[in-house]
Structure 1
Amino acid sequence: MLLSIIQGIFKSKLNMTELAIKAKAGNEEVMNDLLFASKPFMKKTASFICKRPIDEHDEEFSVTILGFHEAVMAYDPEESASFHTFAHLIIKRRLVDFIRKEASRKEQLLSFDINEEDSSEQHFMFNEKSINTYKEKQQTASRKEEILLYSEMLAQFNLTFEDLTKSSPKHVDARKTAFQIAQIVAEHKSFYEFLLKNKKLPLKEIESLVQVSRKTLERQRKYIIAVVLLLNSDLSFMKDYVKGEII
């Protein structure tokens, strides 16, 4: 079993999907073999996220293994077409949480003032109906402003809302994968800076991390760029529309 996994694990998206499903179903042999054979992928992913070499002796690698295992157990091929993309995002979450906890423990960050919420509530003791009416007007104005701002952001990359309508992947699994790739680009400083500077995606680097062909990445380029710009913006109302897509 192990030899066949090592030989084929990175060659076939379907094979990886089948192995993840078998491991998730409770096949411990497949799970153990999958974890062993995926060590190169996990080390590469952890090193990329931590921005330094990670080996099996590092605590970050232990966190990565747990993240990979969690990805296997949570993976649903109907929700996430590419297991590698999904696993990368889950590992990213676990490592970021770990790094933040370590920083908090070592630096002993100050906690928020527990009385802040009480004072805030006392400050807004006004007529509820008037407040709601005011908020609705403000939100409507803010939404219109955000649409204009987003349109201007897209224009810097020669994109329009019409382009997004045409380039948006038609199939649900393809759209989810494209969105998850956009998430990876948005969350990695080097990828995002490359996009802003060159007005294009670092396709070669992305292709090395996810199991998606260059042709597919190029076809979904406009959609991915648009999502990246939205995720890294302060357009809170616009982001509400994609909350369900974020891992």
Structure 2
Amino acid sequence: MFLSIIQGIFNKKSDTALNELVLKAKRGDKEVMDDLLIAFTPFIKKTASFVCKRFVDEHDDEFSIAMSAFYEAIVQFNPEDNSSLTTFSHLIMKRRLIDHFRKEAARNGAIHLLKGEDETAASDAQRYVFDQASIVSYSSEQQAAERREEIMEYNKLLKDFGLSFQELSKSSPKHTDSRKTAFQIAQIIAETPDFYAYLMANKRLPMKELESTVEVSRKTIERHRKYIIAVTLLLNSHFVYIKEYIKGELI
């Protein structure tokens, strides 16, 4: 069950499978719920770390808050709303962490007031903390910052393989069938531990293994090499915004 969750949850078929697991968890299947929480732990940590602007691990209160928020997101998630679980849960986690920051700020403000701080200044600070417009603005700015961070991280990852966004725009398959075939090859690599380990260690495709696995010529694989590598890296990443933006465009 756990492996079925963590493998490339990206294309339409996989989304359907994930949604079915979410429905099981919502109906009270504790084992499925636990597997989902474990499988998405890296994603939960990344979201909490970025919102907090520092590294967050399992020992931090913020991680517990984010984990509870992810649980809440599973319970509230509705696949018919045309939103992915990662996007929806990302928003819920961020809201709950912001609520936590607001409560901490309010508590600290009350402490300062008891210590004889200027009442007007404390009141102004509290009004700022509870100003909904400020929270909305903060959330929007954070989303924009997270998108930029993901793009920078992905670009850095591509550079490790001698690739760039400019090269990808030129080398991406132009025809739908070719793009679908290349995507399927990338998915096979991403979901096959030995293939993926070879790619990461050698910075090149496991050509011999692929030739014996897929019904595509070596020439075709080599022609779309850059695209296949780029998609493979993306499939096994936690780049929430990039995946959401290009979903439906790759295939």
Tell me the TM-score normalized by structure 1.
0.50
Matches of 1:158 and 1:202 in 2, distance apart? 17
Matches of 1:159 and 1:122 in 2, distance apart? 38
Matching residue of 1:141: 145
Three-state SS of the structure 2 residue aligned to 1:241 is: helix
Q: Structure 2 residue aligned with 1:178, among 171, 177, 182?
A: 182
Query: Kindly tell me: are residues 122 and 168 of structure 1, through their superposed partners in 2, closer, same or farther at Cα, counting changes over 3 Å?
Result: closer
List alignment gaps of at least 5 residues for structure 2. Answer: 5-12, 22-28, 38-66, 76-92, 103-129
Three-state SS of the structure 1 residue aligned to 2:156 is: helix
Contact persistence 1:168–1:175 (CA under 8 A): yes
Give the drift of 1:209.
2.0
Matching residue of 2:193: 189
Query: Kindly tell me: are residues 206 and 114 of structure 1, through their superposed partners in 2, closer, same or farther at Cα, counting changes over 3 Å?
Result: same
Deviation sequence 1:183-217 (CA, Å, 0-9, x none)? 11111111100001111101221222222111010
Matches of 2:208 and 2:233 in 1, distance apart? 20
1:1-247 mapped onto 2 (5 Å cutoff): 111=34, 117=72, 124=99, 128-244=132-248
Give the drift of 1:129.
4.0
Contact persistence 1:182–1:224 (CA under 8 A): yes
Contact persistence 2:190–2:196 (CA under 8 A): yes
Give the drift of 1:122.
7.8
> Once superposed, what is the RMSD of the aligned Cα atoms?
4.0
Give the drift of 1:227.
0.7
Matches of 1:142 and 1:216 in 2, distance apart? 36
Give the drift of 1:143.
1.2
Matches of 1:137 and 1:225 in 2, distance apart? 31
List alignment gaps of at least 5 residues for structure 1. Answer: 1-48, 51-88, 98-104
Contact persistence 2:179–2:250 (CA under 8 A): no
What is the aligned residue count?
151
Give the drift of 1:114.
9.3
Tell me the TM-score normalized by structure 2.
0.49
Give the drift of 1:222.
0.5
Give the drift of 1:127.
5.7
Query: Kindly tell me: are residues 163 and 114 of structure 1, through their superposed partners in 2, closer, same or farther at Cα, counting changes over 3 Å?
Result: closer
Give the drift of 1:145.
1.4
| 1:202 counterpart letter in structure 2 | P
Contact persistence 1:178–1:220 (CA under 8 A): yes
Matches of 2:212 and 2:144 in 1, distance apart? 42
Identity of aligned residues (%): 50
Query: Kindly tell me: are residues 114 and 170 of structure 1, through their superposed partners in 2, closer, same or farther at Cα, counting changes over 3 Å?
Result: closer
Matches of 1:172 and 1:139 in 2, distance apart? 31
Contact persistence 1:186–1:231 (CA under 8 A): yes
Contact persistence 1:176–1:245 (CA under 8 A): no
